[in-house]
Structure 1
């Protein structure tokens, strides 16, 4: 996928903020969360392209091989190979594949082929009552952040930040996927030690930095900062009160990270959080040499004054392995140790 999202974030937010949905949003946020059923051997996988185009058939063949190797059964969305410019077909058609898979009793999980851009465009066309009444696993990362948060907000559905279909599916990623989705085990997270550090006296890679020490409890939610920032002010984001927010990004200059976190701040979101976690910012660098702030300075400026437990350096983002995290369920985070411990499972 492209490592530069800026050309995709100029769309007007006003088209997303549909006034008629305000009442249903308030009702949804006061309702209990809905957990999908866990996977088992033979569970059906609905392969979708809700964002960027996926028009190379060999990629689909590779994904089907991965799904079968997981012991699951792949089903292709009707519009999986459509193309409309950089999008995987028209907005209504991409949304129809999602609606149809939620209505299909054979399907247990919806797995996107890739991210890119486009999920925000389909949000008005999704049937949130259908989704609420037929809870299923939906997983992904990057542009899928929009879809995951919208389903949580509008349907109270627990969603999963994790791999898209056309990713590596190496051992660590598979293990995380299976633990989170095939079992009701309460998972935990801590940065993995890099093998390059095995013969060193100290840890150099995958270090965490505590911004504000302490522990916090709350519902974990988050994803890609650029994507999240672009839908703030719409009807598709929740009340963040008491939530623990994690964010990550890729290919952004530091001043743009500053601008997007400032957006969260002035929108009143940061002041509602019980905890904050910053993951990886892959290929993010200062633009302007000594005229730039560092990422550390940006995070300290915005997050330290909140006084909530916070840390940075989590192995979450456009990196490998892409681990699977339920979103919308209670966790406890420890900013001193850089750990996330789930207090409940994401599936039933």
Structure 2
């Protein structure tokens, strides 16, 4: 189920379902939505109501989330930042409300848990892309990170080639299926829950940040043992920013870890995609149909809006 495309002048909502956004950076990001994209912004009631390491209390996050899906005026929902906390509210979300009011939903990192939940429980295609306070609100933002917001205004097929970044083939082949995934840590945390990552017949993508290679090794091994690589049609590896060992600590390289854990699955696999905690951060529709072709080094993704 694809949401309806945006038009200039539409109202969009901003919520904080994870950690507290830095308000200065959030305010710096809003002109991008208003002036560059031509949208009107409606802030959630609890965007600035920090509760420890959470952006607000769980019931307040739910109130903001539900209010944005209920509000007919709001055509898209953007998450302020990631961090931690979305999984805490996943079991309490009204998924019938989401299903009956399909809207553009945008974010990444900790928002991965909501992408999985919306996709599985409501069939909603959402968007894995740069967020407001943690990306757009920085003093310097890569132009491509902004460019890929345009796919919200016009159904756009994304063809990712080496013109965007160098790509490395790990296993040859062609794979087709809906593109699912997100942040590796969050995908692993979904295992054993009602929102467990499902990869049967799908193309899996993942990325992460600030995790040492042994931790990446542990998480990939868990996905492998859970059958997620064997079930997948293909595997797309995004950015692993600052995933290096402590200085002086004996370690495998990140490349060795990923190769050892993923390659044996024998599925078409490529790495080097600028998805995740990187610059540029290329936004892609989660749940959209895609084709991974290692022979011409392309990932082609169908539009995420109608």
Q: Normalised by the size of structure 1, how large is the TM-score?
A: 0.82
Q: Distance in 1 between matches of 2:6 and 2:240?
A: 31
Task: Note if contact 1:45-1:74 (Cα within 8 Å) is conserved in structure 2.
Answer: yes
Shift of 1:306: 1.2
Q: Distance in 2 between matches of 1:47 and 1:115?
A: 13
Shift of 1:303: 1.7
Q: 2:212 aligns with which of 232, 253, 267?
A: 253
Q: 2:161 aligns with which of 167, 182, 190?
A: 190
Alpha-carbon distance change, 295 to 71 in structure 1, aligned in 2, over 3 angstroms: same
Matched, 1:107 2:107: no
What corresponds to 1:9 in structure 2?
none
What corresponds to 1:139 in structure 2?
106
Task: Note if contact 1:96-1:126 (Cα within 8 Å) is conserved in structure 2.
Answer: no
**Deviation by residue 1:38-81 (Cα, 9 ceiling, x = unmatched):** 0110111101000011363x334223212102101100101111
SS in 1 for 2:132: coil
Q: Which runs of 4+ in 1 moved over 2 A?
A: 58-61, 168-171, 190-193, 286-291, 335-338
Question: Which aligned pairs between 1:1-348 and structure 2 lie closer than 5 A?
Answer: 34-54=1-21, 56=23, 58-69=24-35, 70-166=37-133, 167-168=135-136, 170-178=142-150, 180-192=151-163, 206-287=165-246, 291-342=250-301, 344-348=302-306
What corresponds to 1:14 in structure 2?
none
Task: Note if contact 1:115-1:144 (Cα within 8 Å) is conserved in structure 2.
Answer: yes
Q: Distance in 2 between matches of 1:327 and 1:71?
A: 24
Shift of 1:152: 0.6
Q: Distance in 2 between matches of 1:238 and 1:35?
A: 20
Root mean square deviation, CA, Å:
1.7
Higher Cα Rg, which structure: 1
Q: Distance in 2 between matches of 1:320 and 1:50?
A: 23
Q: Distance in 2 between matches of 1:239 and 1:282?
A: 25
SS in 2 for 1:35: coil
Structure 2 gap segments, 5+ residues each: none
**Deviation by residue 1:107-166 (Cα, 9 ceiling, x = unmatched):** 111101111111111112211000000000101111111111111111110011011112
Q: Distance in 1 between matches of 2:156 and 2:238?
A: 24
Mean Cα displacement is larger for which, 166-175 or 225-234? 166-175
Q: Distance in 2 between matches of 1:64 and 1:292?
A: 42
Q: Normalised by the size of structure 2, how large is the TM-score?
A: 0.93
Q: Distance in 2 between matches of 1:164 and 1:113?
A: 6
Query: How many pairs does the alignment contain?
Result: 300
**Deviation by residue 1:289-337 (Cα, 9 ceiling, x = unmatched):** 5842222222222222211100111122211122210111211112244
Mean Cα displacement is larger for which, 232-241 or 81-90? 232-241
Task: Note if contact 1:55-1:82 (Cα within 8 Å) is conserved in structure 2.
Answer: no
